[in-house]
Amino acid sequence: MCFSESSVNGTVIFEQTALGLPVTVKGDLKGLDPDSLRGFHVHQLGDLTNGCLSVGSHYNPFGRTHGAPSDINRHVGDLGNIKANKDGHATFVFQDSQISLNGPLSILGRAIVVHTGTDDLGKGGNDESLKTGNAGGRAACGVIGISS
């Protein structure tokens, strides 16, 4: 998966060994703001016709409020923040048990988005926090697809 629309570039790989098991998310992204935490979410649509603006909202098939990856009440697509080092480079590996690459909650064909701000994980005390985590605009995005 590649990113577009800004200086952010790199790869995010999603791996799942079987339906019902957690998805491992591995990333190597460059061009982020130095020493920053940036919101990182799966969005509803894999539509890049209008750049990152056409990918819709966070993937939220159960109609829940925004939250942290460890919260029970969260959007399926809420993956928290990624951390960039002093050079604006982020490498990360984590697992998530709500996203899936199989079945009715599959994220294949949806978009992954890196935001311009830090995700407050739904703890910001306002309506926007419960929708988006106040993570700001969309710095970069890409469609989640199948590769060999």
Contacts of 15 (CB under 8 A, 6+ apart): 23, 24, 26, 101
| pLDDT for the residue 11 | 96
Identify whether 41 is a catalytic site residue.
yes
Q: Which domains does the chain have, with CATH numbers?
A: 9-143 (2.60.40.200)
Of the residues 66, 74, 96, 119, which is catalytic? 66
Has residue 107 got a pLDDT over 50? yes
Q: Per the residue annotation, which of 38, 74, 110, 115 is the catalytic one?
A: 115
Is the pLDDT confidence value at 6 over 90? no
In this structure, the chain runs to a length of 148
pLDDT in tens, 111-127: 999 999 999 999 999 99
Q: Active site includes 115?
A: yes
Q: Which of 38, 74, 75, 110 is catalytic?
A: 75
pLDDT attached to residue 4:
47
Res. 62: pLDDT tops 50: yes
Verify whether residue 89 is a known catalytic residue: no
Average predicted confidence (pLDDT) for the chain? 94
